[in-house]
Structure 1
């Protein structure tokens, strides 16, 4: 798959309804947009095999236990402790090979297996971490894909929220802490991580691509185009940065101060 073919898949996903959003294929396209011409068949095989095994386990175990035993036990998917600050764990093809990744990527595997096995699950954009919400007969529970899919108790959710800087009023609200996000938002959350790490590593071409992916996955959000502009500016692509800011202004109802400032700054550099 070429970069052009990958971005076409993401553009189609961006126009899809949330209920029809192609989570797995969009995540694969994101990986191939960065490093094209790779074979992604192992990703699909892992998802199919794990969902088959999960269907077997669900007949004898609770939904959360079946997910944990299948994904972390049978298929050895776990958090990447050695390369935590790199981008290896954000690429679904790399993670399929190593079985180690970030929670924002691992949750995609959990979601795909759960849905195919008939379970109700959703990603939770917990502060600084992505968890998995699973509906059980006793009510919703939270699993941590990064920590071998283990159950996260309500008391620990509150503790983590307080540690992340949330107020006690918010940290005590499990309905807020476990609020599900759409699959589209989960894929975009992963690309947010890629952008932040790429900018820190001064890999501005990679940062630009990740921001562009967010822009096409959510065509109604102007903010990714501001990130595209920032990455292009760092590369010295000033006309391209201005074009990205113009796209942001087209989408946004009101021009934000940061947009106007960025445009003014680039114009000064061009002059």
Structure 2
């Protein structure tokens, strides 16, 4: 898949409603867009194997047991504890080869496989740590793809929320903290992770690519264009940064004070 082909897939995905958003296809396009000189087949093979293994496990195990055993037990998918900030941890093609990564990137495989066998699984934008929510006959359960898909008990969820700095009354509202998010939001969270790490390491080219993918995935949001502009400015591409800032202002109806200020700063540098 070329970078242009990946952008075309992401553009089409961005135009779809949340209900029709193609999570795995878009995640694969994101990985190819970041580095197109790779074979996507390992990721496709892993996704297919995940569906097959989960379907077999569902014959004799509960949904929450089946998904954990299929993904972590059979396919060896787990969180990368030792090199958490490694760029490959946010890339579904690399994960297919390494079998470890960030919770949100691992979650893409979990969600894809679960949906293919008829399970109701969604991402959760839990404070400080991405989780999955699976609907069962006994009610919703939280699963942690970073910890081999294990069930996270409500008491532990509250403790995790408290550790992020939330007030006790907020941390106790698990119905709100465990609210499912859209597949589009899952993939945008993954791109945010990539941008933050690239920005920290001053890899401005990679930061620009991740911000551009966010802009394609949610074409109504002006915020990704601010990040595109910052990444381009970091590379010295001031004319491109100015274009991105203008795009941000257009999407926000010209109301973005930060974009106007940044645009003026970049414009002065061009003179």
Bucket of the pairwise TM-score, normalised by the shorter protein: over 0.9
Partner of 1:64: 64
Rounded to whole Å, the distance in 1 between the matches of 2:54 and 2:34 is 31
Q: TM-score, normalised by structure 2?
A: 0.98
Separation of aligned partners in 2, 1:128 and 1:264: 35
3-state SS of 2:135 partner: strand
Range with greater deviation from structure 2 (245-254 or 145-154): 245-254
Match for residue 26 of structure 2? 26
Partners of 1:145 and 1:53 in 2: how far apart? 16
- Aligned counterpart, 1:50: 50
Aligned to 1:122: 122
Take 1:103 and 1:215, find their aligned partners in 2: how far apart are those partners?
22
Please, what TM-score do these two structures have when normalized by structure 1?
0.98
Please state whether the residue corresponding to 1:253 is helix, strand or coil. Answer: coil
CA distance in 1, matches of 2:266, 2:171: 41
1:79-158 pair list within 5 angstroms? 79-158=79-158
Report the equivalent of 1:208: 208
1:25-68 CA-partner distances (Å, limit 9, x unpaired): 11111111111132111211111111112112122211111111
Displacement of 1:255: 1.6
Moved over 4 A (4+): none
Q: CA deviation at 1:141?
A: 0.4
Q: What SS class does the counterpart of residue 181 from structure 2 fall into?
A: coil
Per-residue deviation, 1:112: 0.5
2:8 aligned with 1:5: no
Q: Secondary structure, in 3 states, of the residue corresponding to 2:197?
A: helix
State the shift of 1:254 in Å: 4.9
* Partner residue, 1:189: 189
Shift of residue 213 of structure 1?
A: 0.2
Give the unaligned 5+ runs of structure 1: none
TM-fit CA distance, 1:15 = 0.7
Give 1:268 shift: 2.1
Q: Secondary structure at the match of 1:126?
A: coil
Q: Mark the runs of 5 or more structure 2 residues left unpaired by the alignment.
A: none
Contact 2:249 2:255 in 1 (8 A): yes
- Aligned-partner Cα distance in 1 for 2:260–2:35: 34
Aligned partner of residue 122 in structure 1, secondary structure: strand
Looking at structure 1, the residues matched to 250 and 168 of structure 2 have their Cα atoms a distance apart, in angstroms, of 39
Corresponding position of 1:175:
175
- Give the aligned CA root-mean-square deviation in angstroms: 1.0
Corresponding residue for 2:260? 260
Q: How far is the alpha carbon of 1:143 from its aligned partner?
A: 0.5
Aligned length: 271
Say whether the 8 Å CA contact 2:78–2:145 is kept in structure 1. yes
Give deviations 1:7-35, integer Å, cap 9, x for gaps.
11110111112111111111111111111
Worse-matched range after superposition: 248-257 or 129-138: 248-257
Distance 2:3 2:53 in 1: 33
SS of match in other structure, 2:180: coil
**Equivalent-residue separation in structure 2 for 1:36 and 1:42 (angstroms):** 14
